[in-house]
A and B are shown apart, each in its own frame.
Chain A
Amino acid sequence: MTITDRIPDTPLLDRARSNAGYALNKMAMGLSTPAGRAAFLADEDSYLDRFALSPAQRAAVKARDWAEMVRLGGNLFYILKISAVDPTPIRAIGAAQAGLSLEDFLDQRLGKVTNG
């Protein structure tokens, strides 16, 4: 699946992405309850089975491949909930999407600062 960005490298949650990512985002939204988080942590595969993820989306979630999740229609505000059950700093998620090491990401994009 390839969705063309109207603004380069800037995936907006428009019709095409919202449709493509609906199940993936719904899966992530399920982690906003204690029961959902407990189910994910107890048996991730069984939890994922509840949602109609494509094989590629499922693989991206299992691999914690943030860039791929976004490419497949995931929206950061939903998939970020995965980082609540499997702790990952937001800037590491940013670096992964930019295709940079965390060090290079902080240096090149954010001016090598450490807040937050």
Chain B
Amino acid sequence: MAELLAGLGTSHVPSIAAALDKGLRDSDEWKPFFDGYIPAQDWVRAHKPDIAVVIFNDHGNSFFLDRIPTLALGVAEEYQPADEGWGPRAVPNFIGASDFAWHLADQMVAGHFDPMICRELDVDHGLQVPMELVFGRPAAWPVKIVPILVNTIQYPIPTPQRMWELGQLLRRAIASYPTDEKIIVMGTGGLSHQLQGARAGYINPDADRAWIAKIGADPARYRAMTREDYIAEFGSEGAELIMWLVMRGCMDDSVRTLHQQYFAPASMTGAGMVLLENMG
């Protein structure tokens, strides 16, 4: 059966991509942020995952408000970077793990999750940035991907509890997949930020640091919180953090936090990362 190699949570702030595109990786402002990912990058490189399941939200790039899937699953052979207004970024196309994706589609629907199944899909910074933070800027990505898209833009958004349950289902889908491939699950978004309204610019570094410290060791509170709790504590766009719960719900109750970092703010966002491994 396939192996759940690790769970990784990370921000996907578009300014991270812009900094890379502008050659600011090693600038005084950004170097501490990017350097914080090096230990996790080294660990992932050494453990050679075959597939990355990336849970993220589209930011009004691939889906317009005419049709918003609460949950969508990519089964494509290949994904191109989306045009977010500035033209598609010069990152390699992403190769889909379509065999596992179709297996996951079967498992999801059988388990009473009913995603929109996407055969042609451009992917925006929500997927691009985590891939770049984990795998750098290779000529070709070293893993195939399975995108899971969660609506966090138009209300109602799904509940944190539903995200956790989706993680549990993903775990069963990995366990029942008859290959020896190694899978890393990446929950993305957050941490605290709010981009709209008079509370724009809200960040909550104390809450962010607590999240980074506890999402591995003691996630019960985050699993129990309401959507409104997330918005109040982490800001309206900070509610993206519910997508980390898919990753956490996929893991064992007991996990080791291999690496972590927190940096604030990246642009207008608290930016953080954890790399989790099952205790086994």
A residues apposed to B, CB below 8 Å: 5-15, 18, 22, 25-26, 29, 31-34, 37, 67, 70, 75-78, 80-81, 83-85, 90-91, 93-95, 97-99, 105, 108-111, 113-116
Of B197, B202, B268, which one neighbours A5 at CB under 8 angstroms? B197
B201 touches A32 (CB 8 A): no
A105 touches B201 (CB 8 A): yes
Q: How large is the interface on B (under 10, 10 to 19, 20 to 34, 35 or more residues)?
A: 35 or more
Given contacts A80-B85, A84-B86, A94-B268, contact A75 B15 (CB under 8 A): no
Complex A-B: 26 CB contacts under 8 Å: A5-B197, A7-B228, A7-B231, A10-B199, A12-B231, A12-B236, A13-B153, A18-B154, A26-B66, A32-B84, A70-B196, A75-B60, A75-B196, A81-B84, A90-B15, A90-B195, A93-B200, A97-B197, A98-B200, A98-B201, A109-B268, A110-B203, A111-B265, A116-B15, A116-B18, A116-B265
Point out the residues of chain A lying under 8 angstroms from B197, CB to CB.
5, 9-11, 70, 97
Of A6, A76, A81, A116, which one neighbours B195 at CB under 8 angstroms? A76
Of B33, B86, B154, B199, which one neighbours A8 at CB under 8 angstroms? B199
Point out the residues of chain B lying under 8 angstroms from A114, CB to CB.
29
B13 within 8 A of A: yes
B138 within 8 A of A: no
B15 touches A99 (CB 8 A): no
| Smallest CB gap from B239: residue in A | A12
A77 touches B198 (CB 8 A): no
| Smallest CB gap from B27: residue in A | A115
B residues apposed to A, CB below 8 Å: 13, 15-16, 18-19, 29-30, 33, 59-61, 64-66, 82-87, 153-156, 194-203, 228, 231-232, 235-236, 264-268
Of A13, A26, A77, A85, which one neighbours B155 at CB under 8 angstroms? A13
A115 touches B15 (CB 8 A): yes
Given contacts A31-B85, A95-B201, A116-B267, contact A10 B153 (CB under 8 A): no
Point out the residues of chain A lying under 8 angstroms from B87, CB to CB.
34
B267 touches A91 (CB 8 A): yes
User: Measured between alpha carbons, how far is A7 from B59 in the docked complex, in Å?
Assistant: 21
Point out the residues of chain B lying under 8 angstroms from A25, CB to CB.
60, 64-65
B153 touches A32 (CB 8 A): no
Given contacts A18-B65, A37-B85, A109-B203, contact A10 B236 (CB under 8 A): yes
B200 touches A94 (CB 8 A): yes
User: Measured between alpha carbons, how far is A105 from B194 in the docked complex, in Å?
Assistant: 13
User: Measured between alpha carbons, how far is A75 from B237 in the docked complex, in Å?
Assistant: 11
Number of A-B contacts (CB under 8 A): 130
B85 touches A85 (CB 8 A): yes
Point out the residues of chain A lying under 8 angstroms from B59, CB to CB.
77
Minimum CB–CB distance from A78 to chain B (whole Å) comes to 5
Contacts A14-B154, A90-B268 known; list 12 others, CB within 8 Å.
A7-B231, A9-B199, A11-B197, A15-B155, A67-B198, A75-B153, A76-B196, A77-B61, A91-B267, A114-B29, A115-B265, A115-B267
User: Measured between alpha carbons, how far is A82 from B63 in the docked complex, in Å?
Assistant: 17
Given contacts A9-B198, A113-B265, contact A32 B155 (CB under 8 A): no
| Smallest CB gap from B269: residue in A | A116
Point out the residues of chain A lying under 8 angstroms from B30, CB to CB.
115
Point out the residues of chain B lying under 8 angstroms from A84, CB to CB.
84-86
| Smallest CB gap from B64: residue in A | A29
A110 touches B232 (CB 8 A): no
User: Measured between alpha carbons, how far is A55 from B198 in the docked complex, in Å?
Assistant: 23
B60 touches A99 (CB 8 A): no
Minimum CB–CB distance from B134 to chain A (whole Å) comes to 20
Point out the residues of chain B lying under 8 angstroms from A109, CB to CB.
200-203, 268
